[in-house]
A = this chain, B = another copy of it.
């Protein structure tokens, strides 16, 4: 069954739930998920509504226009998605394979409604893995002096391949602000419980600080390092018995689970970003 998902945020006012649900009902849509959130501090109303398209009386084109009208009326920011669209992911890696393998397995197992047409890396280590799964592998060597040029080529590739989402699956480098302006839909996994241990070597620093819990954070990448809107986080209890190597090993399990959950939320159009924060309509 094909559905439409409307993600909308606008200044709060009376009657919004009725107005939006009424819009769907008036056109014959059967709502299968509706969740609303009011942020009372900012007086913002945020909603996600999903309905079956099979008895809906507007064509997709007409719906797109109608949503634009609704957004204007409510001074809203609105996104419209259709569940039958298979998202196209570009997964960026360096040398570690665990997050990539996990994403591939979830796509193959049908857990993620997506396809992975390309893997991009600044190293060649994971090329055989890509080959084994029949995924195109593109190597971009990145040095300080060629980074801007390489990013242009990467952006071109994303456009040519109709990529919807970039997933940084332990890609140990930063994308430039220019890149993110051109292609802003990028999910990164950081191997710490942000905002603790942003930046390099979080497990080493966590070990030195003597924390009793480690974590991982999936967030949308922004120009500021490790400061984008957080989608999901998780933690694991550790002890004095755990060396840095042990933290790294245990962190891998956190990283792949948290990244997979974040990608899943995103692909199900369950994430709404506002003011550097996310609403997760789960």
A contacts, CB < 8 Å to B: 14-19, 21-22, 24-26, 28-41, 97-98, 101, 105, 109, 111, 132, 193-197, 208-213, 215, 229-235, 237, 239-241, 243, 249, 253, 257, 276-280, 282
Contacts and interface: CB of A to CB of B under 8 A. Distances in A.
How many subunits of this chain does the assembly comprise?
Answer: 4
A240 B195 contact: no
11 contacts: A14-B30, A15-B25, A17-B21, A21-B21, A34-B34, A39-B240, A41-B243, A101-B105, A193-B196, A211-B233, A240-B280
Q: Secondary structure of the A side of the interface?
A: mixed
Contacts of A257: 253
A249 B240 CA distance: 24
A92 B115 CA distance: 30
Contacts of A39: 240
Contact of A241 (B28, B31, B237, B282): B282
A194 B253 CA distance: 22
Contacts of A212: 230-233, 280
B40 A243 contact: yes
A20 B154 CA distance: 50
A118 to B, nearest CB: 21
A240 B277 contact: yes
Contacts of A232: 212
